């Protein structure tokens, strides 16, 4: 039973955690990376997209001097908008507080690279797209650089996957805990803790 619940836990982790992460970061191919913040200044970037690029996943890499980003009250670290032909096609706020394993810039530097997803542009009208990244209302984050990353032809994550995966993870974890409790059994009894058997003769029982 322990092995069965362990397999359920692994399956739930794969469906609820690994699958969405892999689809967001590795499906499709990268269109390019553009630096949108450096030396204390934000700057918009213009990217020429084609219809064949759709859908386009918009990612933002934040290089900061921190082991992790903890933002109280879900404060916004960065904002992002994407526009084409005078209309906004994407508007997003980025918190970066779920980036538990940031990438390291260099072993010699304390800076870390945190990634957050701004969203998906499902259909693309051929032409220039203006991406504008700006600061949010979070304070105390020492930003070194911000990069815009666009991926083309990405697969869309099935929104049913995460609830199913988390449910399987819960079942597997609870099952493992119960299996260990039941399977462990109690401690073997100490023979010295039992009263000695009655003796025959004086002080004992007789027919």
Q: What are the pLDDT digits (tens) for 168-204?
A: 788 778 877 887 777 655 455 555 555 666 666 555 5
Q: How confident is the model at residue 69 (pLDDT cuts 50, 70, 90)?
A: confident
Q: Categorize the per-residue pLDDT at 108 as very low, low, confident or very high, splitting at 50, 70 and 90.
A: confident
**Average pLDDT of the residues in 49-63:** 93
The whole-model pTM stands at 0.63
Max Cα–Cα distance, the chain, nearest Å: 109
Q: Which two tokens stand for residue 83?
A: 């526009």
- In the chain, DSSP assigns E strands to 29-38, 41-42, 45-49, 56-64, 78-84, 87-94, 103-104, 112-121, 127-135, 143-152
- Give the pLDDT of residue 50: 94
- What residues contact residue 103 under an 8 Å CB cut-off, 6+ apart? 112, 113, 115
Are 23 and 171 in contact, with CB atoms under 8 Å apart? no
């Amino acid at each position: 039973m322990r092995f069965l619940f362990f397999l359920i836990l692994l399956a739930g982790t794969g469906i609820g955690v690994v699958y969405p992460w892999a689809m967001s970061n590795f499906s499709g191919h990268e269109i390019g990376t553009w630096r949108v913040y450096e030396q204390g200044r934000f700057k918009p970037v213009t990217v020429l997209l084609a219809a064949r690029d759709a859908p386009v996943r918009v990612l933002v890499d934040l290089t900061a001097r921190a082991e992790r980003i903890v933002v109280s009250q879900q404060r916004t670290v960065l904002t992002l908008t994407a526009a084409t032909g005078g209309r906004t096609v994407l508007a997003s706020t980025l918190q970066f507080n779920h980036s538990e394993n940031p990438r390291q810039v260099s072993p010699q530097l304390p800076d870390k690279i945190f990634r957050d997803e701004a969203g998906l542009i499902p259909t693309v009208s051929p032409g220039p797209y203006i991406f504008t990244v700006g600061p949010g209302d979070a304070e105390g984050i020492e930003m070194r650089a911000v990069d815009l990353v666009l991926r083309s032809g990405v697969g869309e994550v099935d929104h049913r996957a995460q609830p199913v995966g988390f449910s399987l993870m819960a079942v597997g974890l609870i099952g493992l805990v119960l299996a260990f409790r039941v399977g462990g059994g109690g401690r073997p009894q100490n023979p010295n803790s039992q009263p000695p058997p009655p003796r025959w003769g004086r002080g004992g029982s007789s027919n």
